[in-house]
Amino acid sequence: MALRSLMSNRTTRTHLAFLALPVVLFVTFYIYPIVSSIHLSLHSWDGFSPAMRWVGLQNYATLLGQPRFINAVFNNITWVVFMLVVPTGIGLLLAALLDRGMRGEGVFRIIFFLPFTIPAVAVAAIWRWMYEPSNGLLTTVLNLIGLGGLSQNWLGDPNIVNFSLMGAVAWWTTGFAFLVFFAGLRNIPTECIEASRIEGATPWQTFWKVSFPLLWPSTIIVLGMSAIDAMRLFDVVWAMTKGGPAYSSEVLATQMYDLAFGRFAMGQASAVAVYLLIIAAVIIMPYIYYMSNRVTESEAE
């Protein structure tokens, strides 16, 4: 008994020692900057002057009155919806089709996943070339098939620039959803699938009634990651449009970057960041809570 409690004490101490470094990093690089951002957001500051001027909640109020800010919030929410639906849906479709045992499976798998491995700046460079209004691939192909009238100033028109960006992002991120779903489908015991076939279910029924519910762990990962990525979205928008034309494609992250490092309005930029954190918390916190509960449940089993 004494030995046992000694061992468990030693185990606890070891566990705490293992956690020390990660917790120090977490406090230094998350907690401290967040507190500091909130502090900064209550001031007016250009980043250089020794004195910051206390302005209370004025930065927050100013932002709410700006169409530019409201538009960025709207864009961020649109991106969340888009990321939860489009890349996830296409990824699931491709995984389900490929799981039926196609010839050349390995090649398809690589082609679908490759775009995901590319840096955002490379995605931006490639798609800006695709979207060239006069001789980009998109316009060229539309002209070739006689639909030249449909071609647009893809990145220059405020009304369609967001759709153009979403096209590039769908191409970029679908591979992740695809691969996680595909791995998940391969993880489903074949007996389940065979049993439903023997019962006379069509492949369609088998997928929705048997495979899809068993894919729940993969679905959680994909949806959670997509929502987080959508809230953090920065690189592609910045590298493709810098938020333009006329701020139409701005998201909160690019707006914050422009305010902080382009206009040196550190206080207002921090207020944008705090708004972003609040919106992200509202959208993603339930997911994190669900995840950590699920983990405890699976341990109780």
Partner 1 sequence: MSSALQQRQTVLTRTILVVFAIVFAAPLIVAAITSMKSPSELTRVLALPTEFYWQNYLVAFERMGRSFFNSIAITVPAVALSILIGAIAGYPLAYMRGSSGRLVYFLLLTGMLVPFQIVQIPLFFLIQRLGLYDTIAGMWLVHTAYAVPFCTFFMRNFFASVPRSMYEAALIDGCGPTRYFWKLLLPASTSGLAALAIIQSRSIWNDLLFAITLTSSDSARPVTVQISGFASSLQVEYGPLMAATLVSVLPVMAAYLMFQKAFVRGLLGGAGK
Which residues inside 255-294 make contact with partner 1, applying CB under 8 A?
256-257, 260-261, 266, 269-270, 272-274, 276-277, 280-281, 284-285, 288-289, 291-292
CA gap 85, 80 in Å, rounded: 9
Does the bond joining 245 to the residue before it have cis omega, within 30 degrees of 0? yes
CA gap 2, 138 in Å, rounded: 75
Q: Binding residue for partner 1 (CB under 8 A) from 72, 98, 177, 210?
A: 98
In whole angstroms, how close is the CB of 129 to partner 1 at the nearest point?
5
In whole angstroms, how close is the CB of 47 to partner 1 at the nearest point?
8
Site string for partner 1, 24-53 (x = CB under 8 A): -xx-xxx-xxx-xx--x-------------
Q: Take residue 96 and report the two structure tokens written for it.
A: 């389900």
For tokens 């690589």, the residue is 110
In whole angstroms, how close is the CB of 144 to partner 1 at the nearest point?
8
Regarding 78 and contact with partner 1 (CB under 8 A), the answer is: no
106-135 binders of partner 1 (CB under 8 A): 107-108, 110-122, 124-130, 135
Secondary structure (DSSP) of 149-214: GG---TTT-TTTHHHHHHHHHHHHHHHHHHHHHHHHHHHS-HHHHHHHHHTT--HHHIIIIIIHHH
Q: What is the sign of the dihedral through the CA atoms of 273, 89, 120 and 98?
A: positive
CA gap 168, 100 in Å, rounded: 28
Q: How many residues does the chain have?
A: 301
Would you say 113 or 160 has its CB closer to partner 1?
113
Regarding 97 and contact with partner 1 (CB under 8 A), the answer is: yes
Regarding 137 and contact with partner 1 (CB under 8 A), the answer is: yes
Regarding 61 and contact with partner 1 (CB under 8 A), the answer is: no
Q: Binding residue for partner 1 (CB under 8 A) from 86, 161, 179, 193?
A: 179
193-252 binders of partner 1 (CB under 8 A): 202-203, 217-218, 221, 228, 231-232, 234-235, 238-239, 242, 252
